Amino acid sequence: MSIMSIELLRKGKKKQLAYKKEITLKELLNTQKINTETVLVKLNGTIATLDEKIKDQDKLEILDIISGG
């Protein structure tokens, strides 16, 4: 299997990631040490669920959820 290249955008900073195998959004967030309960993920411009598989050349945007009480 070839290496997948994924673009990750968070807090205005872009990062290129490479993975050897197909992974889910949840697995990617875990490898990047991002808490899945405090973010929303846009996959190619659309809000995505954590069990969606990531494909080569996908663009991810991580949006931090702000809560208050």
| Average pLDDT of every residue of the chain | 93
Instruction: Name the domain count of the chain.
Output: 1
Domain assignment present for 41: yes
- Residue 59's identity, in one-letter code, is K
Rounded to two decimals, what is the model's pTM? 0.86
**Mind listing the pLDDT tens digit for each residue in 27-40?**
999 999 999 999 99
Domain assignment present for 13: yes
Domain assignment present for 69: no
Strand order in the sheet with 13-19: 13-19, 4-10, 59-64, 39-43, 46-48
- Split at pLDDT 50, 70, 90, the class of 1 is low
Domain assignment present for 56: yes
Average pLDDT value for residue range 32-53: 95
Domain assignment present for 8: yes
Give the range of the structural domain holding residue 34, as residue numbers without chain letter.
4-64
pLDDT at position 2 over 90: no
CATH number of the domain within which 59 lies:
3.10.20.30
Antiparallel, parallel or unpaired: β 46-48 and 13-19: unpaired
